[in-house]
């Protein structure tokens, strides 16, 4: 048996080769230029760090500051400040400079009273019978008013005074330091808005994201000038699908289709694409995250430079900065999932990972484009995208599926990224357990396969991810926020909805159990703190999450949306208590 197994591995080693289409070399062609304002604000950020110190310091605040005067005037005044040899300024002088030359961060977004908000919409959460839970759900619903903004007219009048981008419609922000619209957050915000019957607000968010595609060729990570070098998990088509399913808005579908085709082209550009020749000699095409950036992220510049300080050469630092920005593009910033030698943060190698979830999202995009094209009568496009979705499904099964673990696993490229042909075998799969290993279940080609769902369900139950207050992100307690013991609303929702849609009674039962745990911990934390949180500690019911590079944030867009979506799906019986 041992000899047969060795022969099997050797065969795989010889048969699996991988070609990266678009070298990972750090060429300047792969880098988006920064704006003069962003570059100046980064310098201000470093000066503020040297002046105020690390305590309660959030670098993002400084790149969000709107100018009161032209940059040339502000820059001149800045250079006239008296600075020490370490680059610091007296606290008094720097505070006075900032107060004189800048508006407060967030000043260029103004509150917007959503026209489709009512305190308790008709038909709101009919299955929520418990009065205590219902009262809380109405409070969560009311948070859409708190999080609604529109871009100030000042941004359109003086765009060079702002890092905020002038999107046309009203937005719903995540909350706290996240003062602008974000890409993948918006999917779960929209799911909550649809429960709240706020269809116009949901459509406005989509319109804003489409405007970014029309301007930049893709949906940015967020609506800031410093986010133009990367995207986020591609869920725009899923947002449009959900709005159409509720409203039948065919005009929105028609308006969206050209933008979605452009977005699909972006994700299948050379830098994001990998071609794989598998054991059967079939060429498979899959995709990865790859930011067009090789410098510190402006919103985290002080932190990124500190993290890169162990590297001695410029090229090593540039490579590390690209890996940081690419992890931010993934939405999982940060996690041991992207580290070659976890938990060593400096071993981030995001561009060397072919991620399960990204390819599942792209499969969903292709299926949605086919659906939209069919709805609008474009049969040729519909047929084309059905064909390429079938090809992607086969690629996902061929490259990611692990029959022993009954999960889909990310695959690593080799370290020698300059080589066009690389050896690939099953040992290059990342066999650590992450919630993302189950994300394909959210897509119809997988949740509609009853035998597959049954196998994945067993694997999920024994994975170690199911905890007292929801699904853990990973099993590694690294101190990074996209690791144990944190749980995140998007991951709970994707897994729960995939289980529900399978139609299997056992799967729905587990889905409801996860949803009840998640709703409960959200509720208890809300009662204790008076706010909704960005992430939660799934090991301890009633505790919010932590870790990562910033303090825990509140608001919070996607947490609100998932709670409302779960309550709509499962309700809450009058006699069911809500307690840890």
**What is the DSSP secondary-structure string of 73-123?**
HHHHHHHTS-B-TTS-B-HHHHHHHHHHHBPPTTTTEEE---TT--SS-TT
Distance from C-alpha of 81 to C-alpha of 93, rounded to nearest angstrom: 7
Q: How far is CA 534 from the centre of its chain?
A: 12
Q: Given 154, 263, 333, 543, which residue is catalytic?
A: 333
**What is the DSSP secondary-structure string of 476-492?**
---S-TTSTTEE-HHHH
Residue 10, Cβ neighbours under 10 Å: how many? 11
Torsion of CA 198, 201, 228, 361, to 10 degrees: 30
Contact between residue 428 and residue 412 where contact means Cβ atoms under 8 Å apart: yes
Alpha helices by DSSP H, listed for 285-433, are 301-307, 314-330, 356-375, 379-399
Cis amide linkage into residue 343, ω under 30° from 0 = yes
Burial class, 135, CB count within 10 angstroms (exposed 0-12 / middle 13-18 / buried 19+): exposed
Burial class, 331, CB count within 10 angstroms (exposed 0-12 / middle 13-18 / buried 19+): buried
Distance from C-alpha of 109 to C-alpha of 92, rounded to nearest angstrom: 28
Say whether 421 sits in a helix, a strand or coil: strand
What sign has the CA pseudo-torsion 453, 454, 457, 459? negative
534 in catalytic set: yes
For residue 385, which of 484, 257, 211 has the smallest C-alpha distance? 257
Q: Given 64, 263, 534, 568, which residue is catalytic?
A: 534
506 in catalytic set: no
The set of catalytic residues is 333, 534
């Amino acid at each position: 048996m041992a000899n047969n197994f060795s022969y099997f591995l050797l065969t795989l080693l010889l048969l699996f080769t991988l070609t990266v289409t678009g070298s990972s070399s750090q060429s300047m062609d792969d880098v988006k230029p920064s704006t003069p304002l962003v570059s100046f604000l980064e310098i201000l950020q470093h000066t503020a760090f040297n002046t105020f110190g690390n305590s309660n310091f959030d670098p993002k605040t400084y790149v969000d500051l709107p100018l009161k005067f032209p940059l040339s005037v502000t820059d001149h005044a800045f250079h006239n400040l008296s600075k020490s040899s370490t680059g610091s300024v007296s606290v008094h002088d720097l505070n006075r400079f900032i107060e004189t030359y800048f508006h407060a961060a967030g000043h260029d977004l103004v509150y917007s009273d959503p026209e489709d908000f009512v305190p308790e919409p008709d038909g709101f959460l009919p299955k929520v019978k418990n009065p205590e839970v219902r009262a809380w759900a109405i409070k969560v619903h009311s948070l859409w008013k708190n999080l609604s903004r529109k871009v100030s007219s000042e941004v359109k009048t003086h765009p060079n005074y702002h890092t905020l981008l002038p999107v046309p419609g009203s937005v719903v922000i995540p909350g706290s330091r996240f003062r602008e619209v974000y890409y993948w957050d918006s999917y779960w915000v929209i799911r909550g808005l649809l429960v709240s019957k706020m269809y116009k607000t949901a459509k406005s968010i989509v319109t804003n994201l489409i405007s970014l595609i029309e301007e930049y060729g893709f949906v940015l990570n967020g609506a800031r000038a410093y986010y133009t070098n990367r995207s986020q998990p591609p869920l725009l088509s899923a947002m449009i699908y959900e709005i159409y399913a509720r409203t039948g808005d065919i005009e929105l579908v028609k308006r969206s289709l050209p933008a979605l085709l452009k977005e699909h082209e972006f994700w299948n550009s050379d830098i994001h694409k990998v071609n794989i020749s598998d054991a059967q000699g079939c060429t498979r095409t899959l995709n990865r995250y790859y930011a067009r950036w090789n410098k510190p992220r402006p919103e985290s510049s002080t932190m990124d430079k500190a993290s890169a300080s162990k590297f001695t050469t410029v090229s090593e630092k540039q490579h590390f900065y690209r890996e940081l920005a690419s992890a931010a593009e993934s939405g999982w910033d940060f996690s041991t999932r992207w580290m070659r030698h976890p938990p060593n943060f400096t071993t981030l190698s995001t561009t060397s990972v072919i991620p399960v979830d990204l390819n599942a999202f792209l499969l969903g995009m292709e299926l949605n484009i086919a659906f939209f094209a069919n709805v609008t009568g474009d049969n040729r496009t519909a047929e084309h995208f059905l064909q390429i979705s079938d090809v992607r499904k086969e690629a996902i099964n061929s490259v990611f599926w692990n029959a022993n673990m009954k999960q889909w696993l990310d695959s690593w490229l080799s370290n020698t990224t300059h080589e066009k042909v690389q050896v690939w075998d099953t040992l290059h799969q990342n066999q650590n357990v992450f919630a993302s290993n189950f994300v394909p279940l959210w897509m119809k080609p997988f949740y509609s396969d009853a035998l597959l769902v049954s196998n994945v369900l067993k694997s999920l139950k024994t994975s170690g991810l199911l905890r007292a207050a929801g699904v853990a992100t990973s099993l590694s307690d690294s101190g990074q926020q996209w690791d144990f013991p944190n749980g995140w609303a998007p991951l709970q929702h994707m897994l729960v909805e995939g289980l529900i849609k399978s139609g299997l009674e056992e799967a729905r039962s587990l889905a409801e159990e996860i949803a009840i745990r998640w709703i409960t911990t959200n509720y208890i934390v809300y009662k204790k703190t008076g706010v909704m949180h960005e992430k939660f500690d799934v090991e301890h019911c009633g505790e919010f999450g932590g870790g990562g590079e910033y303090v825990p944030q509140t608001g919070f867009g996607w947490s609100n949306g998932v709670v409302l979506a779960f309550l709509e799906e499962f309700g809450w019986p009058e006699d069911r208590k809500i307690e840890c």
